[in-house]
Amino acid sequence: MIFIKNKYGIKFLRSQLGHKINSKFLGALIIPLILSIGIVPAIPFSAGVDIPHLLPVCIDKVWIESINGRIACVTPSTAEKLVQRGWGTILDEIMEDTSDEKSITPVISGGTLPITETPIIGNPEKEFPKNYVPGTEELAEDEIRLTFLGTGMPFPTRNQAAAGVLMEFGNGDILMFDVGSGTVANFNSMKISPAELDKFFISHLHTDHQGDLDMFWAQGIPFGRILPMNVWGPTGDGHALGTQAFVDGLLAANYWDLKSREGNIPTSGAEIITHEFDWTTTQVVYDENGITVTSFPAIHAMAGAVSYRIDWNGMSVVYSGDTKINNFMIEQGQNVDLLIHETFLPAEILSEKTGMTLENAMVVVNELHTPAKAAGVVFELAQPKMAVMYHTWVTDETITPIFDDLRIPYLGPATLAQDFTVFNITPDSIVVRQALVDDAPWPIVPEESAHAEKSDEVPVIPQWLEDQAIDVEEAIKEILEKRHG
């Protein structure tokens, strides 16, 4: 095995001898090397902070390199299978590389730095604190703050919610693109009232893109929203597969939830206005306060998936949702400020980590989604100011392979989004940071919301049930009497 280190830290491993060695021996070999050479990240970072780093140690497993140079840490049995299939060779020697090649130094989710080599693009007019702390920074009139509330998969974790992007504009408007499971909890740490977020754009109806819409709806009713919620989303192949049917179904499924609140608290915010639009057409689906949202078709799983382009004040952001790479994206993404494109982890790692067969993993990654190399093609052809990858597992085992694949076709500025990666966009600059948030926030409820009108009809609990309720004061009196004799 050849273990290659350059002056920016540990970069990658490369095979030479191609025969297997004992994995414990391998671990024993790598750790002292790491200790002896030391790792000093030297990527210039304008905020002047230390960049944490990860050690690519593959304990009790083996490193394997694919024929196209991808490195993965897998179990010995998987490695054998991969070698048998001709995927690559097992690595087994260590040496140091003195080349000057620059590599990404990753920070896993929960870290305080964004995963990018270019945290600042252009010339920001103001100084930004190292981290974004919600509620502490006013937006400039011509500024957009875009925050990832979820970057993950149909397998939300405490590290990563499913898909969701919050956009706050200098004119006070707030829009949300996708509301995957887990995004509502992250939103609640943004110090924004549920009363202020009532515009949701859904890219397609997979649960990892809409799973928290019900909770956004429900929490808004007691905690601030008194106006109807608005949901934009695509048609499908027939009414039952479109956004209108989805929203109607959501309200039907949550009818008990609504009826139980009516009369007890104000419920005017329970209404949802659905704006369903033809998914096959590239068209402006929203145009208010100078902000336009354009929908265009995405190639994902079946009919009814779209991507969005958002334009305001000469700035532009494209959000892919889920899609295979396509010409609509290249056209809409030309020179935008942020091009957010889904970027799946390599099929080999998906297979290794999830038990999915390599064959199925390759279908998921290459046919239903976009692997990093393909995302790199989009970025290279569209030339955004900043390329943004999302919709993958962000771990110490995926970051380097994703960037290595991305860099084959694309060399420009790129960020791998984590939950709470924040982009401040102005006409002259893009600044990327991580937000540091309060994990136990209180809801922010405007006073007028708390005093909104209630329905006259109060839900009824039958008398036989009410009769079984316990009077607290009576009960405490009895308990105290018994205690004191």
Task: Pinpoint the alpha helices (H) of 254-370.
Answer: 255-261, 327-332, 347-354, 358-363
CA distance 423 to 34: 34
Q: How far is the CB of 288 from Zn ion (least distance, A)?
A: 27
- Measured from the CB atom, is 208 or 419 closer to Zn ion? 208
Length, in residues, of the chain: 485
Burial grade of 386 (CB within 10 A; 0-12, 13-18, 19 or more): buried
Which stretch in 101-109, 189-197, 210-218, 319-327 sits in contact with Zn ion by CB under 5 A? 319-327
Q: How far is the CB of 346 from Zn ion (least distance, A)?
A: 17
Q: How far is the CB of 162 from Zn ion (least distance, A)?
A: 7
| Cβ(247)–Cβ(203) below 8 Å | no
Q: How far is the CB of 365 from Zn ion (least distance, A)?
A: 12
Read off φ and ψ for residue 390, nearest 5 degrees: -150, 175
447-476 positions binding Zn ion, by CB under 5 A: none
Q: How far is the CB of 323 from Zn ion (least distance, A)?
A: 9
Looking up tokens 């009077």 gives 471
Which stretch in 104-112, 250-258, 317-325, 354-362 sits in contact with Zn ion by CB under 5 A? 317-325
Which stretch in 10-18, 69-77, 320-328, 397-405 sits in contact with Zn ion by CB under 5 A? 320-328
Q: How far is the CB of 341 from Zn ion (least distance, A)?
A: 12
- Measured from the CB atom, is 212 or 322 closer to Zn ion? 322
- Measured from the CB atom, is 206 or 373 closer to Zn ion? 206
Phi-psi region of 430 (alpha: psi -120 to 50; beta: other; left: phi over 0): beta
Q: How far is the CB of 369 from Zn ion (least distance, A)?
A: 8
Buried b vs exposed e over 147-158: b needs ≥16 C-beta within 10 Å?
bbbbbbbeebee
In angstroms, what CA-CA distances link 39 with 110, 190, 201, 298, 399? Answer: 21, 35, 44, 42, 18
DSSP β-ladder status, 291-297 and 283-288: antiparallel
Establish if 322 lies at the interface with Zn ion (CB under 5 A): yes
- Measured from the CB atom, is 370 or 421 closer to Zn ion? 370
- Measured from the CB atom, is 121 or 153 closer to Zn ion? 153
- Measured from the CB atom, is 25 or 155 closer to Zn ion? 155
Amino acid at 467: D
- Measured from the CB atom, is 326 or 449 closer to Zn ion? 326
Which stretch in 33-41, 256-264, 282-290, 318-326 sits in contact with Zn ion by CB under 5 A? 318-326
| Cβ(267)–Cβ(258) below 8 Å | yes
Q: What is the DSSP string of 6-38?
A: ETTEEEEEE-SS-----HHHHHHHHHHHHHHH-
- Measured from the CB atom, is 6 or 354 closer to Zn ion? 354
| Cβ(118)–Cβ(386) below 8 Å | yes
Q: How far is the CB of 190 from Zn ion (least distance, A)?
A: 22
Q: How far is the CB of 343 from Zn ion (least distance, A)?
A: 12
- Measured from the CB atom, is 306 or 339 closer to Zn ion? 306
Residue 175 CB neighbours (<10 A): 24
- Measured from the CB atom, is 147 or 320 closer to Zn ion? 320
- Measured from the CB atom, is 208 or 337 closer to Zn ion? 208
CA distance 389 to 417: 6
Provide the token pair at 337: 């400020």
Q: How far is the CB of 83 from Zn ion (least distance, A)?
A: 32
Q: How far is the CB of 439 from Zn ion (least distance, A)?
A: 25
Helices (H) and strands (E) in the chain, counts: 15, 22
Read off φ and ψ for residue 408, nearest 5 degrees: -65, -55
197-216 positions binding Zn ion, by CB under 5 A: 206, 208
Size of the site for Zn ion (CB under 5 A): 3
Burial grade of 249 (CB within 10 A; 0-12, 13-18, 19 or more): exposed
Q: Which of 370, 321, 320 shows the shortest CA–CA distance to 345?
A: 370
Which positions touch Zn ion (CB under 5 A)? 206, 208, 322
